[in-house]
Amino acid sequence: MSTTTDPAARIDALRGEIDSCDAQIIELVQRRLAISREIGALRTASGGTRLSLAREQRVLDRFRAALGDDGASLGMFLLRQGRGRL
């Protein structure tokens, strides 16, 4: 006896999984931004610069290696968000 799955039901289930992933991504991005902003404040308060270009390049390289050029774009978006106003 074969069991057939209703495609519409499967699509709904998969979309639910995507929604769950999106919620986790949003939570992680918010956490990352808060951490990044704290690092910038600590660097500034200790007399340093708010940005570390070498560190930013390592982040971009990691995103590009894992996700390609779009990954580098995502990494740049995250870096810009974490910097706040320059």
Model pLDDT, residue 28: 98
Digit-by-digit pLDDT tens for the chain (86 residues) are 545 689 999 999 999 999 999 999 999 999 999 999 999 899 999 998 888 899 999 999 999 999 999 999 999 999 999 987 76
CA distance 71 to 56: 14
Query: Global pTM?
Result: 0.82
38 vs 35: CA distance, rounded Å: 5
